[in-house]
Amino acid sequence: DGGITQSPKYLFRKEGQNVTLSCEQNLNHDAMYWYRQDPGQGLRLIYYSQIVNDFQKGDIAEGYSVSREKKESFPLTVTSAQKNPTAFYLCASSIDQWGYEQYFGPGTRLTVT
């Protein structure tokens, strides 16, 4: 079955530590996205990548970093510079470069204490 995999589902870290969230897709999609979801809020775009070896900042990129070395993979690193990292993180992909129809992974809930 094609889809998007995010791991782990739950992640716990101590304040001051960097942490990397995994996102893999086998849909052969060009574009991939990272969103952050906080309770009672919509999704906010962190980073997106329309093609391998290229990525762009979204609305809330500060304190995050990404890489896109392979078409299938788009890992997100939450750095110690992110002031409030505890959130639900969603990875998505789209068949086209403009993101008209996005497919989402199951999400990773990150808790930093």
Partner 1 sequence: GDSVTQMEGPVTLSEEAFLTINCTYTATGYPSLFWYVQYPGEGLQLLLKATKADDKGSNKGFEATYRKETTSFHLEKGSVQVSDSAVYFCALKTSYDKVIFGPGTSLSVIP
Binding track over 24-63 against partner 1, x by CB under 8 A: ----------------xxxx-x--x---------x-----
Q: How far is the CB of 98 from partner 1 (least distance, A)?
A: 7
Q: How far is the CB of 16 from partner 1 (least distance, A)?
A: 28
2 scored as a contact of partner 1 (CB under 8 A): no
Q: Considering only 12-20, 60-68, 70-78, 97-105, which stretch makes contact with partner 1 by CB under 8 A?
A: 97-105
107 scored as a contact of partner 1 (CB under 8 A): yes
> Both tokens of residue 52?
């391998």
Beta carbon nearer to partner 1, 52 or 88: 88
Give CB contacts under 8 A, 24+ apart, made by 11-15.
11/108, 11/109, 11/110, 11/111, 12/110, 12/111, 12/112, 12/113, 13/85, 13/110, 13/111, 13/112, 13/113, 14/112, 14/113, 15/80, 15/112, 15/113
